[in-house]
Structure 1
Amino acid sequence: MTDPVIVHGYRFSVYNQIVRMALQQKNVTYSSVEIDPFADTVPESYLEMHPFGRVPSLVHGDFQIYETAAITRYIDQAFDGMSLVPAGAKQAARMMQVISIIDNYGYWPMVRQVASQRVFAPLYGQASDEAEVAKGLQESRVVLTTLNKIAREGLVLNCQQVTLADCHLAPMVGYFVQVSEGEKEFEEHQALNRWWSWISCQQSFQTTRPPLPSQH
């Protein structure tokens, strides 16, 4: 009997979608447990699994792991199917570089400053912080320029093979382009635009893309 796979995550989290995309690409059946990391209290049982209270975490049988990049590497190696790590030292290195760029320099401006302020704040009856949006858009430009150069090079983000780089970047872009200014900024990067047209049509992205919360 195959050990069950459980994703503990937050439905609106880009990192939750990253893990779910990787699982979809590997055709892994899994169940989900909702954990809201923004709630006043996080269940003690979850803190035993993830002492920092972030999401997501993955449970596979008696094995537990957190940190998204570690989870997706585990998924790629633990389950059958086409590899999500490209062959070749240069390609694999570029994949890890994209993941590092988006984690360290892209997530905060693209998701937390631009998308959260313009997409989520109004849904919760809050005014957007336009200074935060402007700062996020400005800091996103160097991220997009850098990723466009990598996409143009063609080692990864090349519209040929879904890798962990694609899984990691697509959910971030999915939120960013829901903001009109973000979409405009993104459209100025030709190679990334071509990649987005391709990845956004992949089943693994379409079936894991979270709906927006109901307006409060």
Structure 2
Amino acid sequence: MADELIFYTNPMSRGQIVRWMLEEVGAPYQQRLLDYGTTMKDAAYRAINPMGKVPAIVHNGRVVTECAAICAYLADAFPGAGLAPAPAERADYYRWLFFTAGPVEQAITAKHFGIEPDIDQQRMAGFGSLAAALDTLESAVAGKAFVAGDRFSAADVYVGSQIDWGLQFGTIAPRPAFEAYVEPLRERAAYKRAKAIDGALIAEMQAANPAG
């Protein structure tokens, strides 16, 4: 099928980031829901992503994994959606997209696991410290409607998702700059559609397995 786009996800995962991006793109896609520990780990899906994790997409037979990579890929694959800056204007776009996917997520994960790098370890760790990563992220969004340039892009989907998720679940401490940045993003039609889809799927899963 021409322009076949398949989305592998679980609604209680980072797949929510890619769902939002897909809704912004507006291209039709097929959904494949996977369960942790079963279909996500079986041979069929590991042939797509050997990590056995979601999300992943397959577009015209080509596999893309990792949320930031998927967002960047979709912006390029569907240029009509206008979700990537012109090539000469992508410095902030790439910088903050991958800074958030790298140092910020690493710092948050380390904190969640109770890892607090000392001064010497901070020199070796790419994220330095959680405080340094979040201070830098704050500098990227403070006083701005969009993280890269003067219009919404795939970088806002990824950066916005990470901040939105962090504020919601307490892995990122509230800061006025973070709240001001994500509040308008939550009002986007594609964001609301994506949340409604995943929210309904989560409700179905919980109803089917109330003890889970």
TM range (shorter): 0.7 to 0.9
The unaligned stretches of length 5 or more in structure 2 are 117-128
Q: Which residue of structure 2 lines up, in the alignment, with residue 45 of structure 1?
A: 44
Q: Which residue of structure 2 lines up, in the alignment, with residue 143 of structure 1?
A: 133
Percent identity between matched residues is 20
Contact kept, 8 Å, 2:111 with 2:130, in 1: the verdict is no
2:143 & 2:97 partners in 1: Cα distance? 16
Q: Which residue of structure 1 lines up, in the alignment, with residue 3 of structure 2?
A: 3
Contact kept, 8 Å, 2:75 with 2:82, in 1: the verdict is yes
Relative to structure 1, the CA distance from residue 175 to residue 154 in structure 2 (aligned partners, 3 Å threshold; closer, same or farther) is closer
How many residues were matched structurally? 191
The unaligned stretches of length 5 or more in structure 1 are 115-130
Shift of residue 86 of structure 1? 1.9
Shift of residue 75 of structure 1? 1.4
Shift of residue 97 of structure 1? 1.4
Relative to structure 1, the CA distance from residue 177 to residue 7 in structure 2 (aligned partners, 3 Å threshold; closer, same or farther) is same
- So what's the TM-score if we normalise by structure 1? 0.71
Q: Which residue of structure 2 lines up, in the alignment, with residue 206 of structure 1?
A: 192
2:150 & 2:68 partners in 1: Cα distance? 21
Aligned counterpart in structure 2 of residue 165 of structure 1, from 149, 155, 175: 155
Q: Which residue of structure 2 lines up, in the alignment, with residue 27 of structure 1?
A: 26
Relative to structure 1, the CA distance from residue 72 to residue 168 in structure 2 (aligned partners, 3 Å threshold; closer, same or farther) is same
SS at match of 2:194: coil
Q: Which residue of structure 1 lines up, in the alignment, with residue 99 of structure 2?
A: 101
Cα RMSD after superposing both structures: 3.3
Q: Which residue of structure 1 lines up, in the alignment, with residue 119 of structure 2?
A: none
1:97 & 1:159 partners in 2: Cα distance? 12
Within 5 A, what are the aligned runs for 1:44-193? 44-87=43-86, 89=88, 91-110=89-108, 132=114, 139-152=129-142, 154=144, 156-157=146-147, 160-179=150-169, 182=172, 185-187=173-175, 189-190=176-177, 192-193=178-179
Relative to structure 1, the CA distance from residue 39 to residue 142 in structure 2 (aligned partners, 3 Å threshold; closer, same or farther) is same
Relative to structure 1, the CA distance from residue 112 to residue 35 in structure 2 (aligned partners, 3 Å threshold; closer, same or farther) is farther
